[in-house]
Amino acid sequence: MARQEQQFDDDELSEILRLAIRKQESTTGDLQKRLLEVADELGISHSAIAEAEREYRRTAMRKQEMALYRNESLKSLKVHGGTFAIINLAMAGLNLMTFHEDHEIWFPYILLMWGIGLAIHAMISLRSVDWDDEEFQKWRLKRDELDD
* Residues 102, 95: Cα–Cα separation, whole Å: 10
Mapped onto helix, strand or coil, the DSSP state of residue 128 is coil
The string of pLDDT tens digits covering residues 83-142 is: 999 999 999 999 999 988 888 999 999 999 999 999 999 999 999 999 999 989 999 999
Position with higher pLDDT, 129 vs 12: 129
Instruction: Tell me what pLDDT residue 112 has.
Output: 97
Burial per residue of 61-79, b for 16 or more beta-carbon CB atoms within 10 angstroms, e otherwise: eeeeebeebeeebeeebee
**Which sequence spans correspond to the domains of the chain?**
25-147
The model's pTM is: 0.69
> Tell me, what's the pLDDT at 1?
46
- Asked whether 119 and 77 are in contact (CB, 8 A), the reply is no
Distance CA 53, CA 55 (A): 5
